[in-house]
Amino acid sequence: MKKLTLLSALFGLSFVGAASAADVTVYYSPSCPHCHHARDFISNTLVYEYPELQVTMVNVMETANRSLFEEALQKCKFESGGVPVLVVGDKCEQGYAEFMQDSLRKYVEEDLTEEQKAAAAENKKAMAADAEKFKAEHADRVNAIVEYVATQDAKSQKKTSEPSTMWFWVLLVALVAGLGFVLVRKDNK
């Protein structure tokens, strides 16, 4: 169990820490209005402006994702657990408002080549001219956003805890049976 937890933690750290400047991880709650606004900006604008951008959405309300969220909060040195938390490379933002859009773009561009920055500028112009046409021509950019789903780690932890529960009940039945045997035996004396 400890090895599995350690492996999960290392995976989480590599997941959070491995993002390059052109990758975004968004920790969100489905009931958070600011999270929806951030997701809208990212999915309707940012992924079209930056063709190399990859976005991972992490639902913090899923129990299996809580440890990743807590690691991101530690990495970002955020004391509150407010969402959304946006991690772009080694930069972090908590919350979302329209004035943050330029900062997010700046973070994405930090490690881009001049050629990639020029392509992004052209994409921004094309989006400003006719966003719907540009999005239709680049419909594959929808695939740049993936929802993080905890895989084997969460299932393995659950399976590992089930036998412990079973052993608890077996032990409890054995103790009750032993106590019953002792009580019946005393009555026979």
Q: Pick the more confident residue, 178 or 120.
A: 120
Tell me which CATH code domain 2-150 carries: 3.40.30.10
- Which pLDDT score is estimated for 157? 43
**Residue 166, pLDDT above cutoff 90:** no
Give the mean pLDDT of the chain: 81
pLDDT at 155 over 60: no
Band (pLDDT 50/70/90 cuts) for residue 172 is low
Amino acid at 104: L
Query: Which tens digit of pLDDT belongs to each residue from 82-102?
Result: 999 999 988 999 999 999 999
**Please, are residues 55 and 9 in contact by the beta-carbon 8 Å criterion?**
no
- The rounded distance, in Å, linking the Cα atoms of 123 and 121 is 5
- As a whole number of angstroms, the distance between CA 186 and CA 178 comes to 12
For residue 147, list its beta bridge partners. Answer: 57
pLDDT band at 105 (very low <50, low <70, confident <90, very high): very high
- 18-46 mean pLDDT: 87
Asked if the model's pLDDT at residue 176 lies above 80, the reply is no
Question: Mean pLDDT throughout 3-26?
Answer: 50
Supply 78's token pair.
Answer: 């955020």
Contacts made by residues 166-171, CB under 8 angstroms, sequence distance 24+: none
**pLDDT higher than 80, residue 36:** yes
* 93 three-class SS: strand
Per domain, the residue ranges of the chain are: 2-150, 153-189
Give me 100's structure tokens. 């943050």
